[in-house]
Amino acid sequence: MAEPAHKTGTEHPAEGGHGGFPPFQSQTYASQLIWLVVAFVLLYALMAKWALPRVGAILESRQKRIDDDIAAAGALKVQSDEAVAAYEKALADARARAQAIANETRETQAAAAEVRRKSLEDELNVKLADAEKTIAATKTAAMANVRGIAEDAARAIVERLIGTAPSDQAVTAAVADALKR
């Protein structure tokens, strides 16, 4: 109530307007209205032209910054995903190549081994055939010798038993007959 202006200003008399209650003193209305219009229009202009666009721009720039950052993070994530995919692809390629090299090596090795085995086998077969031939020759020779020995032995035995030597034809026939049996 100690409004400083109270002393210098003049109060509206209590009996003015519609009575003593200040809000109903109509002679104050014109001044209040005029100043309300002045204050309100001034405030509206300041808000609409200056303060609100300013605050709005700050909020907008922050929102834009956030959106940009999120977009950048998304782009980076795509990039890293791509890098991971490329890495995995390279890994798979390398693995496939290693597999291919291993297979190829294994095949060439197997082929070489097969070739060696074959030549060795052939060699052995040749040797075997040779050996069999030798055996057969030896056997034939031995068989021929056996016949001669048998004939000699038979002639000697017969000579010792009967005192006379049998004819060669008879001994040969007898031995051949015996060998046949």
Which parts of this chain interact with another protein (CB under 8 A)?
A: 1-3, 5-6, 8-12, 20-25, 28-40, 42-44, 46-48, 50-52, 54-59, 61-62, 65
Contact in structure between 17 and 24 (CB atoms under 8 Å) = yes
Q: Is the dihedral of CA 70, 74, 80, 84 positive or negative?
A: positive
Q: Nearest distance from residue 74's CB to another protein, in Å?
A: 20
> Is the CB of 33 or the CB of 156 nearer to another protein?
33
| Least gap, CB of 4 to another protein (angstroms) | 9
Least Å from the CB of residue 13 to another protein: 11
The torsion angle over the Cα atoms of residues 78, 83, 84 and 89, rounded to 10 degrees, is 130
Q: Could you tell me if 18 and 25 are in contact, meaning their C-beta atoms sit under 8 angstroms apart?
A: yes
Return the residue matching tokens 């202009």: 45
Closer to another protein by CB, 14 or 78: give it.
Answer: 14
Q: Judged by CB, which is closer to another protein: 43, or 131?
A: 43
